[in-house]
Chain A
Amino acid sequence: MATLTIDGKTITVVEGTSVLDAARKLGISIPTLCHHPKLSPYGGCRMCIVEIKGIARPVTACTTPVSEGMEVSTSTPYLEKLRRTILELILSDHPNDCMVCEKAGDCVLQELAYFYGLRENRFAGERRIYAKRDGNPLIERDMEKCILCDKCVRVCDEVQRVRAIEIAYRGFKSKVCPPYERDLDCEFCGQCIRVCPTGALTGKKWALKGRQKDIKEVDTICPYCGCGCNLTLNIRKNEIVRVTSKEDTLNEGWLCSKGTFGYHFVNSPERLKNPLIRIAPKSSEFGVRSSELKEKLQTQNSKLKTQNSKLFREATWDEALDLAAKRFREIKEKHGHDSIGALASARCTNEENYLFQKFMRAVIGTNNVDHCARY
C-alpha cells in the first residue's frame, strides 16, 4: 500500500495503482481522451498531465504509478494552460462540424472544448483530409475526426484479440486503418465505436436516429446466446435506435456483433407476433426460405405474405399450445416416448434450458435432449 496526497487530500491505495485511478477514487476528475480503465495505459493525449513534487516536468497521471509520500497537483494554472494548448492543437486538426456530427452531445472532445472555452484557434493550419471509402454496412469511419487516441486499436487487440486495425504511418500523417487501407474486414463487434471519444467511429445503423439526450434507456438481457450480456436499449419514439451496454455489468460493457448491431428484428414487420397454425400441407417451395438472401426476400415479401395467409392461420396461444400438446401425446402413444427428441438453443438462458430438459425428461419421458451447437 502507498499513501499519497492529491490536491491536498490523502489517500492510501494498492501499490501499482496509477495516479489517475487514485485521483478518481478521491472524486478528483482529471480530463482524459486516450485513457480507458479496461485498456492498457497509453499516455498519448497528454490531457491528464499532473505535477508531482520533485519531478521537474509534468507527467501523465494515467501512466504514472503512485509511490509512498507522493504529492500530486492535478489542476494548477500552469497545468491548465498546457491542457488548453493541447486541446487547441487537437482541435486545429479536427473538423469544426459539431452541429451535424453524430457524436455531438456525447463527445468527450466537444465537452472538453466547452469547458476550456475554446472558440478561437491560434494554430489553424493544415488539416488531414481523408476520403470516406468504407463499404461495410455497420461502422462509419470518419478518420478526419480521429484524434489518434489508439483506444480502438487497443480494444481490437486487447479485448477482442482481432487486431483488424492499427495505426499506420507516423507523425502528423498517422492514421488508424485496416491493413493496406482496405475496407474494414473484421468481426464487426463494434467495440471500437464504443470506446471512440469523438465522432470518428459511429454506427451506420443509428445514424440520424437522434441525439443521446432524447434517448430513453431500458436495461435488458441479450436474447442471442446464453452468455446473458446486459444490454441497454436506446429507445426513441418507441423504437430501438441503438443498443449499448453498461460497464458495471458482468460483460463489462463489451458486446459482440449481434448484441451491438442485431436489434432490427424487434421492429421488423416480418416478426411473428401471434402463433400460426398450418392449414395447408407443407410445400417444398418454401423450404428454401431460410437460405434466401435478404434482398430477394424483400422483393418477395408481399407475395409471401399472401401465400402465408393461404398456408397458415393466426391462432391464440392457448389454442396453439393445446394443439402442440395434443400432437406430442399422439406421437408418444403411437411411436413411444423415445421417438421424440429435442434440441435446445444457445440463445436460451440456463434457466430456460434447465426447464427444457426437465420437460423432455419428466413430461415427454425421453433423454433425447441435445443442443443446437452440436449440429
Chain B
Amino acid sequence: MLEVSPEVEKKLDGVLQKHITDEGNIISLLQDMQEAFGYIPEKAVGWFSKKLDIPESRFYGVITFYSQFHTHPRGRNLITACCGTACHVKGSERLINSLRRELNIVEEEDTTDDRKFTVEKVACIGTCSMAPAVIINKKIYGNMTADKLMKMVKTLEGKKNED
C-alpha cells in the first residue's frame, strides 16, 4: 500500500467514520473523498480498500463509471458549460470551443497547464429556460455569450493573479 502522511490519514479517518456511521456505500464514500480532497487520490483508494476489505478494482470500476468522479486534481476555477438540448441549440458548443481556445486547453484535456481553470461539459443542469447556461465556481449564469464569458474568465484570472 502506498504511504499516506499523518494529516491525510486524519482526513481519511474522518471520511471513514462518517461512512461507517452513515450506512454508506462505495459511491457515497467516494463522494465524501472527493469533497475532502477535491479529487480522488489513488492513495486514498488504496487506504480504504485495505480498511474496508473491498478490492480496489471495485472502487476503480465505480470511479470511472460515474462522470462526477475525478482521479486528478482540478483547476482552481471550475467552469462548467451546460450541454443540454436547449443550451445546445442555443450555441453551448461554440461557447466551450472559444473558451478552450482562449485558455489554450489542448484536446483530451480539460484543465489548463497552470491548473488555474478547468473547463468541462455537463449534461443538462435544468436551467434550460435561460440557455445557454454556464456554471462558474458553483454559480449559474444564464443567457451566456462568448463575449460575456471571456470577460468573466478574465476577471477571475486577474483576481487569482493578485493573490
Contact = CB atoms under 8 A, between A and B. Distances in A.
Direct A–B contact present (CB less than 8 angstroms): yes
Interface of A: 162-170, 177-180
B42 to A, nearest CB: 6
Contact of A180 (B55, B58, B60, B65): B60
B70 to A, nearest CB: 14
Q: Which of B42, B64, B65 has the most CB of A within 10 A?
A: B64
A165 B64 CA distance: 13
Contacts of A164: 55, 57
Contacts of B55: 162-164, 166, 179
A169 B64 contact: yes
Contacts of B6: none
Interface in B51-67: 55-61, 64-65
Contacts of B58: 163, 166
A178 B60 CA distance: 8
20 contacts: A163-B57, A163-B58, A164-B55, A166-B55, A166-B57, A166-B58, A166-B61, A167-B61, A168-B60, A168-B65, A169-B64, A169-B65, A170-B64, A170-B65, A177-B60, A178-B57, A179-B45, A179-B56, A179-B57, A180-B60
Given A163-B57, A179-B56, A179-B57, 10 more contacts: A162-B55, A166-B55, A166-B58, A167-B61, A168-B65, A169-B64, A169-B65, A177-B60, A178-B57, A180-B42
B113 to A, nearest CB: 23
A72 to B, nearest CB: 34
Nearest to B67: A170
Nearest to B66: A170
* Majority-rule SS of B interface residues: helix
Interface of B: 42, 45, 55-61, 64-65
A179 B65 contact: no
A163 B42 CA distance: 18
B71 to A, nearest CB: 8
Contacts of A177: 60
Contacts of A168: 60-61, 64-65
A302 B26 CA distance: 56
A168 B66 CA distance: 10
A296 to B, nearest CB: 30
A285 to B, nearest CB: 39
Contacts of B57: 163-166, 178-179
A179 B61 CA distance: 8
Nearest to B42: A180
A191 B45 CA distance: 26
A180 B61 contact: no
Nearest to A170: B65
List the 9 closest pairs (A to B, CB-CB), nearest first: A179-B56, A166-B61, A166-B57, A163-B55, A179-B60, A168-B64, A169-B64, A179-B57, A170-B65
A168 B61 CA distance: 4
Nearest to A167: B61
A169 to B, nearest CB: 5
A168 B65 CA distance: 6
Nearest to A169: B64
A180 B62 CA distance: 12
A186 to B, nearest CB: 10
A68 B22 CA distance: 44
Contacts of B45: 179
Contacts of B56: 179-180
A184 to B, nearest CB: 11
Residue among A162, A169, A180 facing the most chain B CB atoms (10 A cut-off): A180
B2 to A, nearest CB: 11
A88 to B, nearest CB: 27
A143 to B, nearest CB: 14
A162 B65 CA distance: 21
B10 to A, nearest CB: 24
Nearest to B60: A179
A184 B61 CA distance: 15
A168 B42 CA distance: 15
Nearest to A175: B64
Give the most central of A166, A167, A177, A179: most B CB within 10 Å: A179
